[in-house]
Every structure is written in structure tokens, then in C-alpha cells.
Amino acid sequence: MDLSPLPTIMLEPLVQAALLEDLGRAGDLTSDAVVPKDYHATTVLTARQAGTIAGLDLAMLAFKLIDQNVEMTVERADGSDVAQGETIASVSGPARAILTAERTALNFLCHLSGIATATASVVNAIREHKAKIVCTRKTTPGLRAVEKYAVRAGGGSNHRFGLDNAILIKDNHIAIAGSIRAAIERARVSVGHLVKIEVEVDTLAQLEDVLLFAPDAVLLDNMSIDELHQAVALVAGRSVTEASGRITAAIAPAVAATGIDLISIGWLTHSAPILDIGLDYREP
């Protein structure tokens, strides 16, 4: 998988804030009291359940920000599938630093690997269809970029990163604008030619109205499988079609079989369970 890493300049403030939250006013009282200052250790990051890895760069940064002498050797890179018990990476260096950064490193790694694993489960479920799995803006505040990265690590794709990426006209926009036509016409006047316009609909009648104005994409929200079949036929390739609304890995294949282009899933980033990963001391 060609998965470009996120730039360190973007990651460092996130990791630094997390470390400061954990260190508080007095630092790691336990490690400083129990572990000799000059003791070096080797530990391993181990998958305690099968899944897909994401977030190693953040984990590495957590260790490095505490002590630049900590080294990580990666065996299973981001985007890799791992089996239960498999070694993901080894971490060696000053023992105090490793133990101090351990929870912050694991918090990022387990959370993002959980998102990647959840994404991979849905991507694999629809592999025989053309549809792509995309995430939404339902992300943890401050973590959107890394959570969307984790979706890519799991084989998914990204929807817009923020309100400034594209126009997505939803039901409340239409209600306040007065009509679908008014909303779309105002959108076209307001933005440049490179900005895409997508319109959300939840009935076939609304879809017919929207198609009169040739939007770049239509978001088919909470439609039944039968309605999605009809909607895709109505669009007939004139706009990109996107399905959304409580779509799980179990029902995703039926949604993809309608011929839809995109399936957007909010729970990938807001509710995916962590992937259980541990840091274990390796005896010298």
C-alpha cells in the first residue's frame, strides 16, 4: 500500500499536548522513583488481537519527545495486517523514557489501529464491487487529520477534511434557502469553478429535483436498498453517488451491489473500538 506519512510538523503538537497532559506538574513519579536513571531496556509492541496497524509515527514521536535516544525498529508498518501475538515494532533506549511515553504512544497507536481495522473490515466486505468506503467529519476534535489517515491505512478513502473543502448542501441548508434550486444557484455564484457541489437527499422525489441542476455528487441518506437501486438508475452516471446512514460491514455488500460510487460511514472514526496493542519488556 502506498501510504504517505503525515508530516512531523503536524503530528508533534498533538503528541506534545498528550504527553504534557500525562506528565502534569511533576512528571512520571513512578518511573523516576523505581527505574535506575541509566538503565537501558528493549521492549516490543505486540498485537494482542488481529487487525490493521496505523499510528506508528505518533507512537515513535511520543518516545522521541521524551528522549531522543529511544529507537524504534518497525517490523509491521502502517497499513499492515497483523495476527494476534505478532510483533509490530521493537523499542529500545533509556527505560525511564520508554515507560514515561508508553501510555501516550499506545493511546495513539491503539486508537488509530482500531480505525484502520474497522475500515479494513468494511473494505474487505465490498471488495468485489466498485464502491469506495469513505469517512466523514464525525471525528475526535483535534484528531481529524490522523483519524482520516487511519482510514486510508485501512484501505478506505477520505471525504472532505473540513467545511472549506467542498460544498455539501444538506436539508437544513435547503430549508433556510427556501428550495433546492435557490441553494444550488447561490452555491454556484459563491464559489470558484474548482469547488465541487454535493447535495443531500433522502427521497427519490428530491433526487429527481436535484438532478435538474446537475450537481457534481448526490448524497443518498438513509435510503433502503431498493431505493438505492432506483436512485443509481435515476442518476445514470450524471453525478457521483454516495450512500450514507448507519451502514455496517454486514449490510455494506448489499449497498455496494446497488452500483453506488461511495459509501460514507461515520462510525469508522467516532465509534471504532481500539485495537489492543501492548508494550512488553524483553529480558536482556
Residues 160, 125 contacting (CB under 8 angstroms):
no
Q: What share of the chain in percent tops pLDDT 90?
A: 96
Whole-prediction pTM? 0.96
What are the two backbone dihedrals, phi and then psi, of residue 265, each rounded to the nearest 5 degrees? Answer: -135, 115
- Among residues 102, 200, 242, 261, which one is catalytic? 200
Decide if 75 is catalytic: no
Of 103, 160, 186, 196, catalytic: 103
Among residues 153, 159, 161, 155, the alpha carbon closest in space to that of 108 is found at 153
Candidates 138, 144, 160, 181; catalytic one: 138
280 is catalytic: no
Size of the chain in residues: 284
- CB half-sphere exposure, 127, CA atoms < 13 A: 7
What is the Cα–Cα distance from 109 to 44, expressed in whole angstroms? 13
List 22, 67, 221, 276, catalytic entry: 221
pLDDT digits (tens, 9 = 90+) for 181-230: 999 999 999 999 999 999 999 999 999 999 999 999 999 999 999 999 99
Q: Which residue in the list 48, 160, 170, 186 is annotated as catalytic?
A: 170
Strand-strand pairing, 277-282 and 262-264: unpaired
Q: Strands 197-201 and 167-169, how do they pair?
A: parallel
- Cβ atoms of 49 and 86 closer than 8 Å: no
β strands within the chain, DSSP E: 40-47, 51-52, 71-74, 81-82, 87-94, 132-134, 167-169, 197-201, 217-221, 240-244, 262-264, 277-282
**pLDDT value at residue 2:** 65
Q: What is the mean pLDDT of the chain?
A: 97
Can 170 be counted among the known catalytic residues? yes
Q: Is 2 a known active-site residue?
A: no
| List of the chain residues with pLDDT < 70 | 1-2
- The reply to whether 103 belongs to the active site is yes
